[in-house]
Structure 1
């Protein structure tokens, strides 16, 4: 594995270290120098060795560049991030899940490899594995290893139930992820297991968090506040403080991405906070989402007009910005809205909320009485 990754990122260039948050921005000339040295199979330049020592304590002086630093090429598409729904299947049955269906199915291994290659070719540096529960996919471990070898910084969005497994921990310690984000659904078996509708889920999550902490895996916790656990928010924060590098709290529950209202039943309105005015999103332009069958969309919610990457190849992503722009237009139930420039949600989320007949106060300025 590489110690560092040098990569174009939109209009800049970065050197990053897998498993570490800190990155170093490069001038274009320095990136070009690294690319030339890599092509000539030369040694790590002195300035790069100095920068690596200052930023990460690495000693790269006198080492061959190839093998120590992966220099990723410029790409035609220049995407930065992607989320990959490896498999919609899950070992939990959460009441608030935004997925319309949770079928355990997806691409065969050879097509997963092809998809990872396409994401690299598109320029993706940060890749999030998600689901369903990604760690239960039969190909997760080798997909994770292959993506790391291709030079991507990896995040796993997980329920944490399998983090204690030797094979999973082995992969995460041998190839450190950028981060592992664990969803926390309660501070007790009663609250968590009732939300996940899976007996024993809380015990598995806590077992996974303890194992990850002991192994030194970088963990963030996403505290999911619902009617099942709203009385335990302080206790969930305490767990997060003990087991994670940082945590976030979420109380805005979405309908399923196709507008089914069922998840909204567990929303705890008293814990919702007003979000900032939505002033745009680069979805479809600098990042994209891919489902278990290689269908690319602007994001997890805006899934209209998907692009079949298995059919089009990476060139299909050239059409994604136009698809995203069309979905972001305020139309349908938002046509003529006097609060259009002060809306707090994007158009795909608003559309799903409207389809689910969600209460206006949960997503719309009209419901705030302002």
Structure 2
């Protein structure tokens, strides 16, 4: 299998090593040289650059054994997220997925969706759920995405990391990043928040095994009413492991429009987002649900495009969908303070449909 990926990214040409956040940038002439190299030896200029960047020795090896050369997609999409399923082995009260149904494409459908993403030009793919590691197709889907030359990030609760077949897969084909959610610093709290007995033990074991395996890890500290008393301990745990972490305390309604998640918020930990000035959703980024339906993001799920039925060509409509969803209409129309609003229009719409109190999503609600 290839060890490096050479890919266009707009006007740039990059050399990537999967599992690494580092990259090399090539002049277009060098890129074209590699495209026509075939089975000839890796040019010395590239061997020297790879050695300096990653400490890899590819001198004298055939180009087509070392490099996977990717073609540019027809649009500007370079990033995507993919929910393999919406099922989960946890039952967290604050989960935005609500019903958490375990359903979606079969393996043939997953294979076709990944091919569409490759042809669309997706370089960075975030695999999520639900809980992606519990999907029986995850190992095969992950390896296919890897073989297609995508840089992979996994969002997981870490409950299956202690399984040897999962850990061996990720050790052999390392993700660029494995982001794990943390729900407490003790078994009593963690298991109560996830409503899953033994969850803390499984997570702690898998976390330690992933660290020992040398995987690139990032922690998301989920702070809610049920674990806010352990927030400092959660931070101390992450710091003692030497891992980067971020905190999330702002809870959203479910994707089905339910407000039942909102009481789980811990008021003292809610944070103010920066003013919303736009994002790449639907322009250079898209989201795919378990059925292969592409939307601008996981919040703005409708309208969407059936990538299995329409293929790459369907994505041409996504920019127009993004423009229509980002307009401040509905409950926000006429707001004279929208220029400093901290919530994007699709997120505001979710809160409004859930009939959530204004203070849950609008910093102007008390004015």
Class of the TM-score when normalised by the shorter of the 2 chains = over 0.9
For residues 203 and 279 of structure 1, the distance between their equivalents in structure 2, rounded to whole angstroms, comes to 42
CA 1:142/1:78 → structure 2, altered by over 3 Å: closer, same or farther?
Answer: same
For residues 13 and 342 of structure 1, the distance between their equivalents in structure 2, rounded to whole angstroms, comes to 37
Which residue number corresponds to residue 35 of structure 1? 35
Which residue number corresponds to residue 220 of structure 1? 218
Offset, 1:45: 1.7
For residues 351 and 32 of structure 2, the distance between their equivalents in structure 1, rounded to whole angstroms, comes to 47
Decide whether the 8 Å contact of 1:78 with 1:124 is kept in 2. Answer: no
- The reply on whether 1:26 has 2:26 as its aligned counterpart is yes
Q: Decide which of 190, 193, 198 is 1:192's aligned counterpart.
A: 190
Q: Decide which of 347, 352, 355 is 2:353's aligned counterpart.
A: 355
Which residue number corresponds to residue 69 of structure 2? 71
* SS class of match (1:87): coil
1:60-209 equivalent positions in 2, closer than 5 A: 60-209=58-207
Decide whether the 8 Å contact of 1:221 with 1:244 is kept in 2. Answer: no
Runs of 4+ with deviation above 6 angstroms: none
CA 1:149/1:351 → structure 2, altered by over 3 Å: closer, same or farther?
Answer: same
* SS class of match (1:47): helix
Deviations 1:8-31 (A, max 9, x none): 123322211111111222233322
Q: Decide which of 35, 45, 48 is 1:47's aligned counterpart.
A: 45
Bigger Cα displacement from structure 2, 258-267 vs 219-228: 258-267
Which residue number corresponds to residue 7 of structure 1? 7
CA 1:18/1:244 → structure 2, altered by over 3 Å: closer, same or farther?
Answer: farther
For residues 31 and 95 of structure 2, the distance between their equivalents in structure 1, rounded to whole angstroms, comes to 43
Decide whether the 8 Å contact of 1:186 with 1:229 is kept in 2. Answer: yes
Gaps of 5+ in 1: none
Gaps of 5+ in 2: none
For residues 79 and 31 of structure 1, the distance between their equivalents in structure 2, rounded to whole angstroms, comes to 20
For residues 243 and 64 of structure 1, the distance between their equivalents in structure 2, rounded to whole angstroms, comes to 40
Give the TM-score, by structure 2 length. Answer: 0.97
Decide whether the 8 Å contact of 1:218 with 1:244 is kept in 2. Answer: no
For residues 178 and 44 of structure 1, the distance between their equivalents in structure 2, rounded to whole angstroms, comes to 24
Offset, 1:149: 0.7
CA 1:145/1:244 → structure 2, altered by over 3 Å: closer, same or farther?
Answer: farther
Decide whether the 8 Å contact of 1:182 with 1:219 is kept in 2. Answer: yes
* SS class of match (1:67): helix
Q: Decide which of 304, 316, 319 is 1:318's aligned counterpart.
A: 316
Give the TM-score, by structure 1 length. Answer: 0.96
Which residue number corresponds to residue 233 of structure 1? 231
Bigger Cα displacement from structure 2, 307-316 vs 2-11: 2-11
Offset, 1:105: 1.4
Offset, 1:368: 5.8
Offset, 1:244: 5.7
Bigger Cα displacement from structure 2, 195-204 vs 86-95: 195-204
Deviations 1:291-336 (A, max 9, x none): 1111111111100111111111221111111111111111000101
Offset, 1:164: 0.8
* SS class of match (1:289): strand
